Chain A
Amino acid sequence: MKSASGSRAAEARALRWLGAPALALYLAFVIGPLLGVAALSLFQWDGVGPARFLGLANYTRALFGDPIFVRSFFNNALYIGLTLGMEVGFGLLFAAALQARLPLAGFWRALFFSPMILSMVVVGLLWSFVLNPDFGMLNAALRQAGRSDWERSWLGDEGTALVAVSAVSGWRYAGFYMALFAAGLRRIPGEVLEAARLDGAAEGTLFRRITLPLLAPVTAVAVLLCVTGGFQSFDLFFVMTDGGPFHSTEIPALWMIKKAFNRQSLGYGSALGVLMTLAVAALGYWQIRLRREDAE
Chain B
Amino acid sequence: MIEKICNLRDIALGKIKEAASGSEVEELRVKLLGKKGELTEMLKDLKNMALEERKQFGQEANELKNELSELLEVKFREISNNDVKKSLSKGSSFDISLPGTSFQVGSLHPVTIVQKEVERIFTGMGFNIVDGPEVEEEFFNFEALNIPKNHPARDMQDTYWLENGSLLRTHTSPCQVRAMQKYGAPLKVIAPGRCFRNESTDASHENTFFQLEGMMIDKNVSIANLIYVMKTLLSEIFKRDVKVRLRPGFFPFVEPGFELDLNCMICGGSGCPTCKHSGWIELLPCGMVHPNVLRAGGIDPEEYTGFAFGVGLTRLAMMKYGISDIRVLNSGDLRAMEQFSVR
Do chains A and B stick together as partners?
no
Q: Give the B-binding residues of A (Cβ under 8 A).
A: none
